[in-house]
C-alpha cells in the first residue's frame, strides 16, 4: 500500500509517517517546509530504516500537485498540510483560506485527475466551537468556529461532505483531533514550533529549559474543579495509530464520508499538566496566574466511543507518558531541528 502525506514533514505527519513505514507502507511526502524541516524527513528515515519519496512542493502549485499525484497514484492521501495558528489566522485570514481551503481544492482536483478516491483529513475539535454538552461526541452540533483557522476546517469538512455526496466512489475520514501533544519515544522527532509557542505543552517545555521567562496560567476562575481549563491531551503516537486505524476502516468498510473524534476521553486541567510535567522533568515550575485568553473554552474533551467501536482505536498513553516524551524531545533537541 502506498500513502501520500501532504504536510508529512510536520509534527503529526512525521509521527504518522513513522507508524506507516513501520507497518510496511510506502510513503510519499509532499511538503513545502513552511513550518517544518528536511531534517524531520531524514529522522523519519533513520528511525525506520526505510526510505520515503519527498517532494518539496506547495499545495498552491496546482500543476505540480497534479503531476505528483498522477505519477505516484497512491492508494490513499493523508492530508495534514495547512497553517494552524489561531492568532495568525485572525491577523492574516486570507493566507489561511488560501493555504487551507484553496490548497485542499488543488489537492482534490489532483486526486480526481489521478483517480485516487481515498482521503484522510486532519480536522480539529475546534469545529465544535463552544461545546453544548460534554463529553463531545460526533453528533454534537458543529457550530460556527471562533476564528478563521477554525472556519477553514469547517469549510473543508463541508467541501468533503459535498464531494462524498456527489460521488459515491469517494471514501473520506474526517479526523477531529483534540489536543495533540508529546513526541516519539526515541526523542528523535517531535514538535518544533516557530517563535514563541502558542500551545501549552511546547511552551512549558521551553520554559523548563529557560527559553521562556515566565509561565502564565490563562485564568483560574473557570467553572472547573481547579478553576483552570480542561482539555483532552492525546499523545501524538496514539494519534498516528489512529490514522492507521482510519486507513484500515476506509479500505475495509468503504464508508463514504465518516468523521471521528480522536482523543483520550480524559480531561486534564492546566495545573494538572504542569504537575505532570514537573514529575517527568524533576523540575519545580514556578507559574503565575494571569487573565483568561480570548477564545478559550472552559472545557473540551471527547467521548471516544465511536473511534473505539468503529475504528478499533483507543489512545493508550497517559499524561505522564506525554510529558516524559515531550521532555526527552526537548532535552535532546533544545533548538528543534537544526539543519
Ligand atoms: P505542522 O505545522 O507541524 O504540519 C503542517 C505541515 O504542512 C508543515 O510541515 C508545513 O510545512 C506544511 N505546509 C504548510 N503549508 C503548506 C503548503 N502550502 N503546501 C505544502 N505543505 C504545507 O502542523 P501539525 O500540528 O502537524 O498539524 C497537522 C494538521 O493537523 C494541520 O492541518 C492542523 O491544522 C491539524 N490539527 C493540528 C492540531 C495541533 O494541535 N497540532 C490540532 C488539530 C488539528
Ligand atoms: C488551541 C487553539 C485551538 C487549536 C489548538 C491546537 C486557541 C484559543 N485555541 O487550543 O483552536 O485547535 O490550540 O492547536 O488558541 N494555556 C495557559 N498558558 C499558556 C498556554 C496555554 O494557561 O502559556 C492554557 C490555555 O488557556 C488552555 C490550555 O492551556 O486552557 C491549552 O491551551 P493550548 O495548548 O493552546 O490548546 P487549546 O486552547 O485547546
| Residue owning the nearest CA to atom 18 of ligand 2 | 217
pLDDT at 194: 87
Distance 288 CA to ligand 1 centre (A): 30
Q: Which residues contact residue 71 at a Cβ distance below 8 angstroms, ignoring those fewer than 6 apart?
A: none
Q: What is the pLDDT of residues 86-101, one digit of tens each?
A: 999 999 999 999 999 9
Distance 295 CA to ligand 2 centre (A): 9
Q: What is the mean pLDDT of residues 167-182?
A: 98
DSSP state of 291: P
pLDDT at 339: 64
DSSP 245-284: HHHHHHHHH--SEEEEEES-S--EEHHHHHHHHHHHH---
DSSP 151-214: HHHHHHHHHHHHHHHH-TT-EEEEEEE-EEE---TTSSS----SSS--SHHHHHHHHHTTSSS-
Q: Which residues contact residue 319 at a Cβ distance below 8 angstroms, ignoring those fewer than 6 apart?
A: 233, 266, 268, 272, 273, 276
Cα angle 19, 25, 29 (rounded to 5 degrees) comes to: 80
> Is 128 among the catalytic positions?
no
| Residue owning the nearest CA to atom 3 of ligand 2 | 126
Which 3 state secondary structure label does DSSP give 237?
Answer: helix
Q: Which of 139-143, 203-207, 223-227, 230-234 has the lowest mean pLDDT?
A: 139-143
Q: Which residues contact residue 294 at a Cβ distance below 8 angstroms, ignoring those fewer than 6 apart?
A: none
**Distance (Å, whole) CA 111 – CA 108:** 5
Has residue 181 got a pLDDT over 90? yes
Has residue 123 got a pLDDT over 90? yes
| Distance, CA of 231 to chain centre | 15
pLDDT at 33: 97
Has residue 165 got a pLDDT over 70? yes
Could you tell me the CA-to-CA distances from 51 to 18, 139, 227 in Å, in that order? 11, 40, 48
| Residue owning the nearest CA to atom 13 of ligand 1 | 81
**Distance (Å, whole) CA 311 – CA 205:** 32
Indicate the pTM of the whole model. 0.98
Ligand 1: lining residues by beta carbon, under 6 Å = 6-7, 9-13, 31-36, 58-60, 80-84, 99, 103, 122, 124, 177, 180
Distance 86 CA to ligand 2 centre (A): 9
Q: Which domains does the chain have, with CATH numbers?
A: 2-183+234-263 (3.40.50.720)
pLDDT class of 203 with cuts at 50, 70, 90: very high
Q: What is the pLDDT of residues 320-331, one digit of tens each?
A: 999 999 999 999
User: What mean pLDDT value characterizes the chain?
Assistant: 97
Q: What is the pLDDT of residues 271-318, one digit of tens each?
A: 999 999 999 999 999 999 999 999 899 999 999 999 999 999 999 999
Q: Which residues pair with 118 in a beta bridge?
A: 171
pLDDT class of 145 with cuts at 50, 70, 90: confident
pLDDT at 26: 98
Greatest Cα pair distance, the chain, in angstroms, is 56
Q: Which of 316, 331, 322, 315 is nearest to 280 (CA)?
A: 322
Percentage above 90 pLDDT, the chain = 96
pLDDT at 111: 98
Q: Which of 11, 96, 149, 177 is catalytic?
A: 149
Q: What is the mean pLDDT of residues 163-179?
A: 98
**Distance (Å, whole) CA 104 – CA 89:** 17
Amino acid at each position: 500500500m502506498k500513502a501520500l502525506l501532504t504536510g508529512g514533514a510536520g509534527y503529526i505527519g512525521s509521527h504518522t509517517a513513522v507508524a506507516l513505514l513501520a507497518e510496511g507502507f510506502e510513503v510519499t511526502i509532499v511538503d513545502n517546509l513552511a513550518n517544518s524541516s528536511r531534517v524531520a524527513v531524514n529522522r523519519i528515515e533513520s528511525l525506520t530504516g526505510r526510505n520515503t519519496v519527498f517532494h518539496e512542493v506547495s499545495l498552491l502549485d496546482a500543476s505540480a500537485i497534479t503531476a505528483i499525484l498522477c505519477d505516484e497514484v497512491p492508494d490513499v492521501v493523508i492530508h495534514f498540510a495547512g497553517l494552524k495558528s489561531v492568532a495568525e489566522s485572525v491577523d492574516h485570514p486570507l493566507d489561511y483560506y488560501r493555504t487551507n481551503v484553496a490548497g485542499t481544492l488543488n489537492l482534490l482536483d489532483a486526486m480526481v485527475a489521478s483517480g485516487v478516491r481515498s482521503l484522510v483529513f486532519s480536522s480539529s475539535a475546534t469545529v465544535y466551537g463552544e461545546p453544548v454538552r460534554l463529553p463531545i461526541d460526533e453528533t454534537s452540533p458543529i457550530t460556527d468556529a471562533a476564528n478563521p483557522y477554525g472556519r477553514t476546517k469547517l469549510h473543508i469538512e463541508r467541501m468533503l461532505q459535498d464531494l462524498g455526496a456527489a460521488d459515491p466512489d469517494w471514501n473520506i475520514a474526517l479526523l477531529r483531533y483534540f489536543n495533540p501533544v508529546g513526541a516519539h519515544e526515541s526523542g528523535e522527532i517531535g514538535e518544533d514550533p516557530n517563535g514563541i509557542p502558542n500551545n501549552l505543552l511546547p511552551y512549558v517545555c521551553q520554559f523548563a529549559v529557560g527559553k521562556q521567562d515566565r509561565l502564565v496560567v490563562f485564568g483560574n476562575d473557570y467553572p472547573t474543579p481547579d478553576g483552570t481549563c480542561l482539555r483532552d491531551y492525546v499523545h501524538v503516537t496514539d494519534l498516528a495509530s489512529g490514522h492507521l486505524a482510519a486507513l484500515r476502516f476506509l479500505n475495509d468498510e468503504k464508508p463514504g464520508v465518516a468523521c471521528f473524534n480522536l482523543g483520550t476521553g480524559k480531561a486534564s486541567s492546566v495545573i494538572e499538566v504542569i504537575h505532570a510535567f514537573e514529575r517527568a522533568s524533576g523540575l519545580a515550575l514556578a507559574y503565575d496566574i494571569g487573565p483568561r485568553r480570548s477564545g478559550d473554552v472552559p472545557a473540551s474533551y471527547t467521548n471516544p466511543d465511536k473511534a473505539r467501536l468503529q475504528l478499533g482505536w483507543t489512545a493508550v498513553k497517559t499524561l505522564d507518558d506525554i510529558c516524559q516524551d515531550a521532555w526527552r524531545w526537548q532535552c535532546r533537541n533544545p533548538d528543534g531541528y537544526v539543519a
